[in-house]
Amino acid sequence: MKTKNIKTIGTYLPIFNGFYGSLWSDPDFSGEAEHYGLPENFPFYDYVNYSDYYDVLSVQFCSIVENISELKPFIKKVSFNLLDSPQYYNFTNDKIDCNITIDADKIKEYIYTNKEAFECHLVDHHKSRDGFMSYYDHTFDGWVEYTKDFTNFDHDPYVILASILKFIANNEGIEEDVFYYEAEVYISNYYTDEFYEIVEGKTNEVKPFIQENYLKMSNDELLEAIELKYEDSDYLKIIIDTAKETIKDIENHTLKLELQ
C-alpha cells in the first residue's frame, strides 16, 4: 500500500491578499457612537488596537481556509504563526505566515490535471515584465525542477508552495470575500485603553454628585440637574446614562449613598 505524502510546511496563507486597502482596514463603526454615548463624529478608528484586531482575524482566516471544502483534498490543517506586515505598503501587502499540512500527492495530481491553467498562472505571476522583476522560472519544467516533480515543497515554500496553493484556490473559484462572510470579529473588543479612559473620564463627576445628593433630590431632579450642568457637552448621552445607572446601583444597594 502506497504511503500518503502528507507534510507540514511553513508558507503563506492562500486567498488572503492583505489588510491594507481591504474592508478590514476600514472597520464598520455603525452604532458605536450611540452605544457608548459619544458624538457621531467621534474618531473611533484612532482608538483601535489594530495589531490585536488583525491577529485575531488572521487566526480565523487560517481556520476558514482549513475548512473550505474545495481545498480539503490538498490542505489538511492550517496553523497560524504570525502576521507579516511590511514597513511600507508601496509595493506589497500583509501576508499570513502559517504552517499548512498538505497532501502532496493530491497537489501533484491536480497540477497535472490542470497543467494548461497552471502554465498560465506561472506566466501571469512569475514572468518578468516592465516594472516587475521575477526571480523565479515561469515555465512548467522549471517548477517541476523546483518541486522534484511536485513531490517536495521544501524549496522556498513561501514562494513556491504559496503560489501553487494560490493557483488551486483561484482555479477553484475561491475568492477573498469568503473571509468577509465567515469571519466573526467585533471591533468593539479591540478598543485601546485610551478609548475607555476617555469614556470613563466624561462621567467621573457624575457618580459623586448622585451619591451626595440622592437623599436631597428626587430621581427626576437629579437627572435634570445633570442634564442642565452638561447640556453643552458632546458626551451628554453617556453622562445621563451613567447617572441613571448610578441611581439604579444605589437603589439596588450596590453603591454607597455617600462618599467615604
pLDDT digits (tens, 9 = 90+) for 136-164: 999 999 999 999 999 999 999 999 999 99
Domain boundary among 168, 190, 212: 190
Whether 1 maps to a domain, the answer reads no
Whether 104 maps to a domain, the answer reads yes
User: Do 115 and 32 form a contact (C-beta atoms < 8 A)?
Assistant: no
Whether 71 maps to a domain, the answer reads yes
N residues, the chain? 260
Q: Is the domain of 165 the same as that of 42?
A: yes
Residue 259: pLDDT band with limits 50, 70, 90 = very low
Whether 195 maps to a domain, the answer reads no
Q: Is the domain of 176 the same as that of 211?
A: no
Residues of the domain holding 216: 203-251
Residue 237, pLDDT score: 78
Tell me how many domains the chain contains: 2
The closest alpha carbon to 181, from 51, 67, 32, 71, belongs to 67
Indicate the average pLDDT of the chain. 89
User: Do 96 and 62 form a contact (C-beta atoms < 8 A)?
Assistant: yes
Residue 215, pLDDT score: 86
List the single range of 54-58, 88-92, 103-107 with lowest mean pLDDT: 88-92
Q: Is the domain of 179 the same as that of 234?
A: no
The answer, as to whether pTM is greater than 0.85, is: no
- CA atoms of 36 and 22, how far apart (whole Å): 26
Whether 118 maps to a domain, the answer reads yes
Q: Is the domain of 63 the same as that of 136?
A: yes
Higher pLDDT, 196 or 47: 47
Residue 202, pLDDT score: 67
Average pLDDT of span 93-113: 97
Tell how strand 6-12 and strand 75-84 pair up.
unpaired
Q: Is the domain of 178 the same as that of 213?
A: no
Whether 84 maps to a domain, the answer reads yes
Q: Is the domain of 47 the same as that of 176?
A: yes
Domain boundary among 140, 168, 190: 190
Domain boundary among 190, 215, 233: 190
Q: Is the domain of 89 the same as that of 212?
A: no
Q: Is the domain of 10 the same as that of 120?
A: yes
Residue 256: pLDDT band with limits 50, 70, 90 = low
Whether 197 maps to a domain, the answer reads no
Whether 260 maps to a domain, the answer reads no
